[in-house]
Amino acid sequence: METNLLADLHSLPDDALLTADEAAQFLRLKYTTLAWYRCQGVGPKFSRVGPKLIRYRVGDLRDYASGHAMGDGVQRAAQAALAGRRRAASLRKKSED
């Protein structure tokens, strides 16, 4: 997944509609995981447009994401990624000085 695409998705207004694939990327889930959530009735709110098209409002995805705490493994990975970004930023700053 491209970082630019993820940034673009997160910059959309709350009323924008995303496809299921885009919604999965927004939430950093696999498409199949989001589909399973939808079938089980435990995922974010969605709308059915016609008989087959599924769409997710960005605002509903944000609400869903903010209401679900990260698991331990995800938290450790997020903390490691953040530490790496901070380290890279620190090295860039030192090389600019």
- 17's enclosing H/E stretch is strand 17-19
Q: Tell me what pLDDT residue 68 has.
A: 66
Give per-residue pLDDT as tens, 16-57.
999 999 999 999 999 999 999 898 888 899 999 988 899 999
Q: Within 10 A of 44 (CB to CB), how many other CB atoms are there?
A: 21
How far is residue 63's CA from residue 23's CA, in Å, rounded to a whole number? Answer: 13
For the entire predicted model, the pTM comes to 0.65
